[in-house]
Structure 1
């Protein structure tokens, strides 16, 4: 609690639930979203939880000329349209498609363009994540990366783990400068588990510095051997002994 008060850490879902259990007069809307008032009043009607509308089915589906469902790519520029559209034609006039060996196309597979740096160093700006649709929230794999499609945004985050019906979902960033994000389940539209990454960022050679050091050591060893030979030749000419030479 001291760390929370000093803003040294952020509360997780379990901590928020413990606070509400210990202080039943406190409103969950105020604790999680800052909506006033802070405490329940006598004339406040009993809080009715809105049922989750998550169906586990994507809202946008497209097929090729042969009627086969394909993997469509949702670039950053099409994000707003994707959130609102019920038909892919409303989202992009000519949607990009992606074909990956051993990964079947279909309405359960989708590719999203990564925006921002909240998932660095795992994911970078402009990467494409290929993900499969998660039909049930109790099937969420703990600490796996997911694409979360909410009513007003699309996010790529790591999820804490499975959630029960109507429970909020805790979204985590790999970039330690970003705080956890609590998403009400009623705001969730689609959930996709990341299975593959297509990246434009080629990692640097982590052994480059070590390789260069070996080259320098070899050069020093070669130079020292050559120098020692010259010194021995000079010493023999003037009949002197080098320090360290046997008598």
Structure 2
């Protein structure tokens, strides 16, 4: 009986804190105002279905209604969590897009330094089109881009299309009906640049950061290529410096004469 009284007291306090009427809550629970009043006054118990609906309405864990435990954290954007769409789950994400309830099936994480906003998501990268910027297995933190035309040239974006998800670099396209996406990986072949119709685009998201567990090995091709280029530049500078030293020495000898 004490448990019933405690639950009735908590849901009454929740209702009053939001300034909801008993009639409003009863309508949400699909019961009469009189039936809801009996629950608040501890004359009737509360069923599991009503607990779940109240927890969603108030944005609190269902356990708080049952036990009063305030130390539980609700998994949602408002409490600092972001849903992760793993590589193997992306087909299901596209199929159920944009059903928000489907997000409850994903793992949620809190990322230090990021303030989650509505619509922000984590995606696991599977392809190699953005090597070496983004490596397969990296997790990218994506934020909805409401105005596509305001996207900065060269930004890394995640494009949610009708049948696939792409992570590319955004390029400005003079054609207003088409967006141009470019790979960082020069070995991406004919997929290096892709023109995507805006009709095919469901959502464009900016990649705001990434989480990686992979360190580039020193024998990485791109790494080696950059080192070789730097060595060539240094050799060229050495040659120019030698020529300048010879000219300076010649001028100094001429001045002594």
- Smaller-chain TM-score range? 0.5 to 0.7
Aligned counterparts of 2:121 and 2:103: Cα–Cα separation in 1: 14
Selected match of 1:155 from 153, 156, 166: 166
Aligned counterparts of 2:202 and 2:107: Cα–Cα separation in 1: 22
What RMSD, in angstroms, separates the aligned Cα atoms of the two structures?
Answer: 2.6
Deviation at 1:200, TM superposition (A): 1.4
1:177 match: secondary structure: helix
1:110: which partner in 2? 121
Residue 198 of structure 2 is aligned to residue 185 of structure 1: yes
Aligned counterparts of 1:112 and 1:201: Cα–Cα separation in 2: 16
TM norm structure 2: 0.50
Aligned counterparts of 1:138 and 1:198: Cα–Cα separation in 2: 27
Structure 2 unaligned regions, length at least 5: 1-58, 62-73, 220-257
Deviation at 1:162, TM superposition (A): 7.0
Structure 1 unaligned regions, length at least 5: 1-62, 207-247
Residue 214 of structure 2 is aligned to residue 201 of structure 1: yes
Cα deviation, 1:155-208, whole Å, max 9, x if unaligned, reads: 10001037775x2011100011222011000011111111111011123469xx
Task: Report if aligned partners of 1:81, 1:91 keep a CA contact under 8 Å in 2.
Answer: no
2:186: which partner in 1? 176
- Map 1:2-151 → 2, pairs under 5 A: 65=61, 66=74, 68-69=76-77, 70-85=81-96, 86-90=98-102, 93=105, 95-151=106-162
Task: Using CA pairs under 8 Å that are at least 6 residues apart, name the structure with larger relative contact order, 1 or 2.
Answer: 1
Task: Report if aligned partners of 2:140, 2:210 keep a CA contact under 8 Å in 1.
Answer: yes
Deviation at 1:100, TM superposition (A): 1.4
Greater helix percent: which structure?
2
Q: Which runs of 4+ in 1 moved over 4 A?
A: 162-165
